[in-house]
């Protein structure tokens, strides 16, 4: 099927964050929250790197899967898959923002999966990009940033090959059966940010790759349009909210 699952964004799900979004792709639901820390990682100070940083963390809530998923802290370490996903989210969003323009701050992007049904990493990137845009707009509106450091929107979607057909935005069952699994991260101007295709212990041809890229690109156009609409709507915070933010944001100074 060449159709996206129903996609929606509910903003403000976690009011203590600078911005937050509950993003839904079909039955997949992810809480994406952006918070600001008035400090930079130690390595930036040691290496005297100017500007700020953006870092992402990803986790599946224990009740997001049909069989309860053990917490990372109980297992004693972050599993390899989660580590890989949060690195991908971080790289993708750093492509969206000019870190030289945010000052000596760290933008934290947290993605917690509330319900998992395939595509949690692409939903995370898509939702986090919206939360990031809203957060940045708030900071500009509150006078905390002179100009917006946002360079572009990023959005992500999965594509795959199932029984010889290219398939868009796979749910868990489709993903499990797919012969090839590809994750595409692109900008709203059609540039690539990340391409990760894997035969998952099998192989695929150049022709299959091209068909998947084509289908993915089409889906990402639609998603970017949805993102823009949500951001525009959220972009009208009332005066009271701005004052609160302004008060909070100044504390760390």
Integer angstrom CA distances of residue 125 from 103, 153, 223: 23, 10, 12
Q: Is 220 in the site for a second copy (CB under 8 A)?
A: no
Integer Cα distance of 201 and 66 in angstroms:
25
Integer Cα distance of 105 and 107 in angstroms:
7
CB of 231 to a second copy, least distance (A): 19
Residue 3, classed as helix, strand or coil, is coil
Member of 48, 147, 164, 203 binding a second copy (CB under 8 A) = 203
CA atoms in the 13 A half-sphere facing the CB of 26: 17
Q: Is 102 in the site for a second copy (CB under 8 A)?
A: no
Q: Is 73 in the site for a second copy (CB under 8 A)?
A: yes
Site string for a second copy, 113-132 (x = CB under 8 A): -xxx----------------
Q: Is 187 in the site for a second copy (CB under 8 A)?
A: yes
CB of 47 to a second copy, least distance (A): 12
Task: Please name which of 147, 139, 172, 140 lies closest in space to residue 158, comparing C-alpha atoms.
Answer: 172
Task: Please name which of 123, 117, 87 lies closest in space to residue 223, comparing C-alpha atoms.
Answer: 123
Binding site for a second copy (CB under 8 A): 13-17, 20, 27, 31, 33, 35, 37, 57, 59, 61-68, 71-74, 76-78, 80-81, 83-84, 86-87, 91, 94-95, 108, 110, 112, 114-116, 152, 182, 187, 191-206, 209, 213, 248
């Amino acid at each position: 099927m060449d159709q996206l699952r129903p996609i929606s964004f509910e903003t403000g799900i976690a009011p203590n964050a600078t911005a937050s979004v509950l993003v839904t792709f079909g039955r997949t639901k992810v809480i994406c929250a952006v918070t600001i820390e008035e400090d930079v990682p130690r390595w930036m100070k040691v290496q005297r790197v100017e500007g700020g940083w953006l870092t992402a963390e990803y986790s599946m809530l224990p009740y997001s899967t049909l069989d309860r998923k053990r917490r990372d802290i109980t297992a004693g370490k972050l599993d390899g898959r989660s580590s890989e996903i949060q690195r991908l989210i971080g790289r993708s969003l750093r492509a969206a923002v000019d870190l030289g323009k945010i000052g000596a701050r760290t933008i934290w992007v947290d993605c917690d999966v509330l319900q998992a049904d395939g595509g949690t990493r692409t939903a995370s990137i898509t939702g986090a990009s919206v939360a990031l845009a809203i957060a940045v707009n708030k900071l500009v509106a509150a006078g905390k940033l002179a100009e917006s450091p946002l360079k572009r929107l990023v959005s992500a979607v999965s594509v795959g090959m199932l029984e010889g057909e290219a398939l868009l935005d796979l749910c868990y069952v489709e993903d499990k059966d797919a012969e090839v699994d590809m994750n595409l991260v692109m900008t709203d101007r059609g540039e690539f940010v990340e391409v990760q295709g894997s035969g998952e212990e099998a192989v695929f041809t150049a022709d299959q790759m091209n068909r998947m890229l084509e289908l993915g690109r089409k889906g990402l156009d639609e998603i970017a349009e949805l993102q823009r609409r949500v951001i525009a709507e959220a972009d009208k915070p009332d005066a009271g909210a701005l004052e609160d933010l302004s008060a909070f944001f100044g504390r760390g100074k």
